[in-house]
Amino acid sequence: SVKSSVGPRLQRRTGLAILDTDEMVASSLGMSIPEIFSRHGEKKFRKAETETLRTLSTTKRAVIATGGGMVLRKENMEILKRLGPIVWLDGNEETLFARVSRKTDRPLLRTKNPRKAFSQILDERRPLYAKIADIRIDTSELTGEEGAPAILRKVKKANSKGASPYHRQIMTQVPTSDK
């Protein structure tokens, strides 16, 4: 996915730490995301996401990479806004579906019709991202290599327009991860 390929490139270009909330949740619960969904359900995973967000500091500079469902809880959206500006990695539906289909461990896409499930997930999440994002990047035509410079250009442009300096960059996408 673009999220997983852009994060390391942003780290190399900025020197900032990458904090992947999906990895943090999996680590805190001692199991993979699919295992969490299978054993405990989506509700437990979403609660763990919120708990993970609560541990993040507004003073430590970092790039935070979230799963696509992070915006499903209002509290998460409030926390994300406090942590810093939000960069939404969007794309056209076909491209996003092709990207998520490369992995078979997507719990919310384990259905008889994953394409339809994906479309419903996207329809639910896009308005939430549109509401919360400070910057939107259309990744439909971007490679992972092109994503980091595109993000940094938009952040720099936003800063040059008199926006308050970005202390953190929050990178998230809809939903190249169904987590």
CA separation (Å) from 125 to 82, 88, 167, 177? 20, 11, 25, 12
Closest by CA to 21, choosing from 9, 11, 7, is 7
pLDDT digits (tens, 9 = 90+) for 128-157: 999 999 999 998 988 878 888 998 888 888
Query: Is the pLDDT confidence value at 170 over 50?
Result: no
pLDDT digits (tens, 9 = 90+) for 43-72: 999 999 999 999 997 778 888 989 889 999
| Residue 64 Cα to chain centre, angstroms | 8
Q: What is the pTM of this model?
A: 0.80
Query: Is the pLDDT confidence value at 108 over 90?
Result: no
Q: What is the DSSP letter of 167?
A: S
Give the chain's end-to-end CA distance (angstroms, integer).
Answer: 13
Give me the DSSP letters along 132-161.
H-SEEEE-TT--HHHHHHHHHHHHHHHHHT
The residue-averaged pLDDT of 87-111 equals 85
Q: What is the pLDDT of residue 173?
A: 45
Q: What is the pLDDT of residue 174?
A: 44
Q: What is the pLDDT of residue 127?
A: 95
Distance CA 133, CA 140 (A): 17
Q: What is the pLDDT of residue 167?
A: 40
Q: What is the pLDDT of residue 80?
A: 92
pLDDT digits (tens, 9 = 90+) for 70-82: 999 999 999 998 8
Residues 6 or more apart in contact with residue 34 via CB below 8 angstroms: 105, 106, 107
pLDDT digits (tens, 9 = 90+) for 3-57: 678 888 888 888 888 899 999 999 999 999 999 999 999 999 999 999 999 999 7
Q: What is the pLDDT of residue 63?
A: 87
The amino acid occupying position 113 is N
Residue 128 neighbours by CB distance under 10 Å: 19
